[in-house]
A and B are shown apart, each in its own frame.
Chain A
Amino acid sequence: MRFRVGTKAVAVLGLVLLLTGCWGNLPVNDRILVLCMGIDPAKSPNQFTVTFQSPTPSSVTNSSQGGSTGSGGQSDVFAVKGTGQSLEAAFNQAQAKVSKDLYLGQLQVLVISNQLKPALLKRAITSLQSIGTLDKTPYIVVANGSTFKILQQISPQAKFPSLYFISLFGCVSCQTDALGMRFWQYLVRIDTRGVDPYVPVALPFSQGYSVDRVALYRGYHYVTMLDPTQTTTFGILQGLAHKVSLYVPKFHATVAFLTGPSLLTTQVVDGQIRAIFDVHLTAMLMGLDPHSETTQKVSDISQMASQILARRGVTLIRQLQHQDVDPLGIGRMLSWQHPGTFSHYPHWHEEYPKVHVIVHCVVKITDVGTTK
């Protein structure tokens, strides 16, 4: 009996020792939890500078106790930089500047500069993918120029940049278009033929950040940045629009809260590839004088809004075709719907500009927002 109890005790003790994860265990106090990371090109060619940003211990304590931002003029975040030819080299340099373990497993926002050369960006992204503790859920954001400006920017709305972007992208109705792009979604686009990545752009301004543009990439090559109007059109074509509004000059009315799905289908007719976007939007009518409001007028506004948006859509897609960038995934949809046809095109980017694009847009006004 004693032998049995002893054996069980030894077994349980052995399991406890092995299973606790104490091997290489590090208390959280000895760790710097990096929440934001910025990647910029370095002054030396073929190198990049990585900024690792983390909240200060005092700001975390204040945050959990409901404290206010930046008390006593102290910043709530601190950042260390490292430069190198690889992410690992930059990491080592940054690690040498701090007394605690830089830990990337809690990364929440990755900011990349649009000035990064494709080879550098590819190297950084490949290294990031191989970090086992990184779960590929951080949001990815593009900075127009230096990422450090974004990471330094203080917003009165959130204590840290990471909290601001998580709050923004995590709330669909808090955005004009739901542009949030998680790292895994970016990787899916990078690794899938027939679709190119797009990444929301964060521009710093005095009160925080403005996020109403997207940067377009062809693989790892930065191509262009869409302006806010083009971005809303892009959002509509992607089915991501939530609070888009459109002014209809002829009736001096605004069609607001445009939202709804967009269905892309591809067809192959006599060897010609067609991409058809069926966009079904609902909206609220604003600004129309209630005395002049008739069913016919609402219908006319609806039709006119549909035409304007369809025209904008076609114009944008033609521009994208001209720039040879396919963020809407026309090629990808062709590969899913007509795999045989797609397999005939080893270089999709040669065929993409020739695709005939049709945009059907229907705006249905579900509510009249004018009240007196």
Chain B
Amino acid sequence: MNRDAVERLPRISAMQFATMITSGYIALGIFYFPRQAISDAGRAGLWSIILDGFITWILMHLLFRLNRLVPNETLTSFAPKIFSKPVGFVMGLYTIVYNFMLAIAAVTLFGFVLGDIFLPLTPIWIIVGALVLTAVYMGWGGTTGLARTLQAGYTPVAILTLLTGLATGLLVRHPVLLLPPENFPVIPILHGAWQEYVIFIGFQLTITLYPFIRNEQRKQAEKYTYIALGIVIAALVIEYEVMIATFGPSYITQLRWPLVSLMRILSVQGFFIDKFGLLVVALWTIIVAGFTAVRLWSLAHDTMAMFRLKGAIAYHIVLAVSGLALILASTVISNAQFDEILNERYLIPAGVFYLVGIPLALLPVAYLRSTAVKKLRSQTEATPPPIG
């Protein structure tokens, strides 16, 4: 029993965990939503969204099972111990590179959105630079500081976005399209679900963040994360319906960023900010900064675990270098079209492979090496909870 292990990490509450995990997805795919699903399946794209949500729930469940094996260690720390060092190293490297790619795609995409709508004369790297610096600053205070910042910044913007999303219901022009589609073209629905999955990619943050939850709140944290996922799915379904009943399926396929287009036509006459939807789009900076901050945080922690670095100074150095690398790497992406190709061709397959592959590879091995896992758990936690 290692008594020093009990409180060796800064701990976060169940709600903070759910907030961080939720801020770790959505931000990238929301801009394309629901174009890919509609392009593939037409009105039946609604089933693609629901299917994606269901798959995410299953994968989240599997990842939590994985986390419960050694709840006080990140995956990058314990994978080499139950697999082998080379395999664990590859897994850790994959996690780091993938987090980095996700962050590049998200900041560059939002740079293009802001540049297109608000700052046409500003170079994209300046917008990305500001965004990444904000993210680095958010993550500077460590896990608890980031969690509190997200609670204070991300949550209000997410709630405002949800409420604005409901207000966009006023734009509906074709109520007949609110009726659920009656056809189930299986292949197009599956293809749409695949293309649209970018919206959920990113919740694999759990494998790094889980050890930071307060021991007694782990179950509650999982519950809150599921509830947040439910809210996300419900919001997406509502917004899908509103968008399709406003623009019709054909026009949505012509739009680069459909949800941004919907927000931009939302105006509240007589309100002190007429173009209210535009304000919400501007506030999404916080959503994307939150997404980037948790990616950088994860990147820093995984890098430190992989190279056995410890201490606040090491964390700050890794965080700052990652941020700088992110700004430099984002300049490689020349336009929004390239960013989208990066998502479709590389990030979705790599993300799905990771999300499915990690639990499917680790859970059976952990079952076969249950003694080693038990030993590892007792070494890292004074009173480890039962597996399951």
**Which A residues contact B (CB, under 8 angstroms)?**
11, 14-15, 18-19, 21, 23-24, 132-133, 135-137, 170, 182, 184-185, 187-188, 191-193, 332-333, 336-337, 339
Question: Is B265 touching A182 in the complex (CB atoms < 8 A)?
Answer: yes
From known contacts A23-B126, A135-B275, infer whether A15 and B133 are also in contact, taking CB-CB under 8 Å.
Answer: yes
Q: List 27 A-B contacts (CB under 8 A).
A: A14-B133, A15-B133, A15-B137, A19-B130, A21-B118, A21-B122, A23-B119, A23-B121, A23-B123, A24-B119, A24-B120, A24-B121, A132-B116, A133-B117, A135-B275, A136-B265, A137-B264, A137-B265, A137-B275, A182-B265, A188-B247, A191-B251, A192-B248, A193-B250, A332-B248, A336-B43, A336-B174
Query: In the complex, which of the residues A14, A21, A185, A337 has the most CB atoms of chain B within 10 Å of its own CB atom?
Result: A21
Chain A residues whose CB sits within 8 angstroms of the CB of B161 once the complex forms: none
User: Please, how many angstroms separate the alpha-carbon atoms of A119 and B247 in the complex?
Assistant: 25
Question: Can you list, as one digit per residue, whether each of B255-268 has a CB less than 8 Å from chain A (1) or not (0)?
Answer: 00000010011010
Chain A residues whose CB sits within 8 angstroms of the CB of B115 once the complex forms: 132
Which residues of B, 25-51, contact A by the 8 Å Cβ criterion? 42-43
B3 contacts A by Cβ under 8 Å? no
Pick the contact of B250 from A21, A170, A191 — CB < 8 Å? Answer: A191
Question: Is B117 touching A132 in the complex (CB atoms < 8 A)?
Answer: yes
Q: Which residue of A lies closest to B116 (CB)?
A: A132
From known contacts A15-B137, A24-B122, infer whether A192 and B251 are also in contact, taking CB-CB under 8 Å.
Answer: yes
B173 contacts A by Cβ under 8 Å? yes
Interface of A, helix, strand, loop or mixed by DSSP = helix
Which residues of B, 113-144, contact A by the 8 Å Cβ criterion? 115-123, 126, 129-130, 133-134, 136-137
From known contacts A136-B261, A336-B43, infer whether A18 and B130 are also in contact, taking CB-CB under 8 Å.
Answer: yes
B198 nearest CB across to chain A (Å)? 23
Q: Which residue of B lies closest to A340 (CB)?
A: B183
Question: Is A191 touching B117 in the complex (CB atoms < 8 A)?
Answer: no
Q: Give the B interface residue count (CB, 8 A).
A: 35
Chain B residues whose CB sits within 8 angstroms of the CB of A184 once the complex forms: 261, 265
Chain A residues whose CB sits within 8 angstroms of the CB of B207 once the complex forms: none
From known contacts A137-B264, A188-B248, infer whether A170 and B122 are also in contact, taking CB-CB under 8 Å.
Answer: no
User: Please, how many angstroms separate the alpha-carbon atoms of A135 and B277 in the complex?
Assistant: 10
Other 20 A-B pairs with CB < 8 A, given A21-B118, A193-B250: A15-B130, A15-B137, A18-B129, A18-B130, A19-B130, A19-B134, A23-B123, A24-B122, A132-B115, A132-B116, A132-B120, A137-B264, A182-B265, A184-B261, A184-B265, A188-B247, A191-B250, A192-B250, A336-B248, A339-B42
Which residues of B, 352-387, contact A by the 8 Å Cβ criterion? none
Query: In the complex, which of the residues A18, A23, A182, A337 has the most CB atoms of chain B within 10 Å of its own CB atom?
Result: A18
From known contacts A21-B119, A24-B119, infer whether A185 and B173 are also in contact, taking CB-CB under 8 Å.
Answer: yes
B84 contacts A by Cβ under 8 Å? no
Pick the contact of B120 from A133, A136, A182 — CB < 8 Å? Answer: A133
B168 nearest CB across to chain A (Å)? 13
Question: Is A191 touching B120 in the complex (CB atoms < 8 A)?
Answer: no
Interface of B, helix, strand, loop or mixed by DSSP = helix
B187 contacts A by Cβ under 8 Å? no
Chain A residues whose CB sits within 8 angstroms of the CB of B129 once the complex forms: 18
A315 nearest CB across to chain B (Å)? 25
B157 contacts A by Cβ under 8 Å? no
Chain A residues whose CB sits within 8 angstroms of the CB of B250 once the complex forms: 191-193
Chain B residues whose CB sits within 8 angstroms of the CB of A332 once the complex forms: 248
Chain B residues whose CB sits within 8 angstroms of the CB of A188 once the complex forms: 247-248, 251
Which residues of B, 151-197, contact A by the 8 Å Cβ criterion? 173-174, 176-177, 183
A24 nearest CB across to chain B (Å)? 3
B313 nearest CB across to chain A (Å)? 11
Question: Is A18 touching B133 in the complex (CB atoms < 8 A)?
Answer: yes
B278 contacts A by Cβ under 8 Å? yes
Question: Is B176 touching A336 in the complex (CB atoms < 8 A)?
Answer: yes
Chain B residues whose CB sits within 8 angstroms of the CB of A135 once the complex forms: 117, 264-265, 275, 278
User: Please, how many angstroms separate the alpha-carbon atoms of A302 and B293 in the complex?
Assistant: 66
Chain B residues whose CB sits within 8 angstroms of the CB of A133 once the complex forms: 117-118, 120
A179 nearest CB across to chain B (Å)? 14
Chain B residues whose CB sits within 8 angstroms of the CB of A15 once the complex forms: 130, 133-134, 137
Chain A residues whose CB sits within 8 angstroms of the CB of B251 once the complex forms: 187-188, 191-192
Question: Is B137 touching A137 in the complex (CB atoms < 8 A)?
Answer: no
User: Please, how many angstroms separate the alpha-carbon atoms of A92 and B386 in the complex?
Assistant: 72
Q: Which residue of A lies closest to B267 (CB)?
A: A137
B372 nearest CB across to chain A (Å)? 43
Question: Is B269 touching A170 in the complex (CB atoms < 8 A)?
Answer: yes
Chain B residues whose CB sits within 8 angstroms of the CB of A193 once the complex forms: 250
User: Please, how many angstroms separate the alpha-carbon atoms of A23 and B111 in the complex?
Assistant: 14
Q: Which residue of B lies closest to A190 (CB)?
A: B251
User: Please, how many angstroms separate the alpha-carbon atoms of A192 and B248 in the complex?
Assistant: 8
B349 nearest CB across to chain A (Å)? 30
Chain A residues whose CB sits within 8 angstroms of the CB of B126 once the complex forms: 18, 23
User: Please, how many angstroms separate the alpha-carbon atoms of A118 and B69 in the complex?
Assistant: 67
Question: Is B133 touching A11 in the complex (CB atoms < 8 A)?
Answer: yes
A178 nearest CB across to chain B (Å)? 12
User: Please, how many angstroms separate the alpha-carbon atoms of A141 and B257 in the complex?
Assistant: 27
Chain A residues whose CB sits within 8 angstroms of the CB of B264 once the complex forms: 135-137
Query: In the complex, which of the residues B42, B250, B267 has the most CB atoms of chain A within 10 Å of its own CB atom?
Result: B250
Chain B residues whose CB sits within 8 angstroms of the CB of A11 once the complex forms: 133, 136-137
A85 nearest CB across to chain B (Å)? 23
Chain A residues whose CB sits within 8 angstroms of the CB of B118 once the complex forms: 21, 133
Chain B residues whose CB sits within 8 angstroms of the CB of A339 once the complex forms: 42-43, 183
User: Please, how many angstroms separate the alpha-carbon atoms of A201 and B192 in the complex?
Assistant: 41
User: Please, how many angstroms separate the alpha-carbon atoms of A69 and B64 in the complex?
Assistant: 69
Chain A residues whose CB sits within 8 angstroms of the CB of B275 once the complex forms: 135, 137
User: Please, how many angstroms separate the alpha-carbon atoms of A362 and B176 in the complex?
Assistant: 21
User: Please, how many angstroms separate the alpha-carbon atoms of A184 and B176 in the complex?
Assistant: 20
User: Please, how many angstroms separate the alpha-carbon atoms of A170 and B270 in the complex?
Assistant: 11
Chain B residues whose CB sits within 8 angstroms of the CB of A14 once the complex forms: 133
User: Please, how many angstroms separate the alpha-carbon atoms of A184 and B246 in the complex?
Assistant: 10
From known contacts A24-B122, A132-B116, infer whether A191 and B254 are also in contact, taking CB-CB under 8 Å.
Answer: yes
A164 nearest CB across to chain B (Å)? 16
Q: Which residue of B lies closest to A192 (CB)?
A: B250
Q: Which residue of B lies closest to A11 (CB)?
A: B137
